[in-house]
Amino acid sequence: MQPAIATPAIAKEFRSRLLTTSLRFKAGQVIFDEGQKATRWYEVVRGTVRTCRFHIDGRRHLTGFYFSGDVFGADYGYYSTAAEAVTDVTVQCYRVGDISQPGQPKPDLSEAVSILFRAMSSAQKYLFIVGHRTALEKLAAFLLCIHNQNNDDPHLLLPMSRADIADFLGLTIHTVSRTFTELAQRGLIKIEGRHSVVITDKTGLCRLAGEMDNFTNPSADGPIHPAAEFCFPKHPNPET
């Protein structure tokens, strides 16, 4: 798992330069719908938000959870997912028009770029979680992700339902439930109610999730271009 994404200083500094609106939604309310024109993006101030799509057969598929400080709705053109409030939430709403309309006076876009970088990191993180093979691995990675977002507090609050977790991890609520109890039986977590879990063996969870524990590669600190630079193709490859 990559380190928790702290709000970059630059974003705080320039926050006032983008026009924002503060909004509140009650638990379960829709913030925007799939297919709507993506005219705004959002930052969670308080509470939890989920993004989801629906298959034609009615099955739901969640593509992300967003907590305080996270960004969602940064889509190009049309929203590819809907966004719903998991709990009562307060969000800050940024207008896309502020950056894409050539005529308008432009605010400092450093903040926008910074926000989008954070959103990218979040999406990458989720891709890694969902890509795991077994239910144990997926749930372990999921819990570690929440853990990191909560400043490594072993007491986790899981505001979402089992169904939400299942639809996010590509499992059923039954498997999610069974896997929770198995993690508890293995002594990795302690379940303290529907929305509360304590991590009792973080190393064990990391091993299950297959993650290097807080590993970064400080030696390779970004040389100009690690490998060869201008190398000409020797044998043809199938490519576009």
Binding site for DNA (CB under 7 A): 133-136, 161-163, 170-181, 191, 193-194, 235
Cα separation, 92 vs 25, whole angstroms? 11
Tell which positions 66-95 bind a copy of itself, by CB under 8 A: 67-68, 74-78, 80-81, 87-89, 93
Q: Give the shortest CB-48-to-DNA separation in angstroms.
A: 13
List Cα–Cα distances, 93 to 4, 30, 86, 188, in angstroms.
23, 14, 17, 38
With beta carbons less than 8 A apart as the criterion, state whether 23 and 91 touch: yes
Q: Give the shortest CB-202-to-DNA separation in angstroms.
A: 21
| Comparison of 134 and 181: residue with beta carbon closer to a copy of itself | 134
Provide the token pair at 88: 């009562």
Choose, by CB under 8 A, the member of 162, 170, 178, 186 that binds a copy of itself: 170
Q: Note the residue count of the chain.
A: 240
Q: Give the shortest CB-144-to-DNA separation in angstroms.
A: 17
Q: Give the shortest CB-183-to-DNA separation in angstroms.
A: 11
Question: Residues in contact with a copy of itself, total (CB under 8 A)?
Answer: 105
Q: Give the shortest CB-160-to-DNA separation in angstroms.
A: 8
Tell which positions 138-167 bind a copy of itself, by CB under 8 A: 150, 157-159
| Comparison of 133 and 185: residue with beta carbon closer to a copy of itself | 133
- Per CB under 8 A, does 50 bind a copy of itself? no
| Residue 2 partner contact from DNA, a copy of itself, none using kind-dependent CB cut-offs of 5 to 8 Å | a copy of itself
| Comparison of 44 and 136: residue with beta carbon closer to DNA | 136
Annotate each residue in 183-222 with x if it binds a copy of itself (CB under 8 A) or - if it does not, as one string: ------------xx----------x--xxx--xxxx-xxx
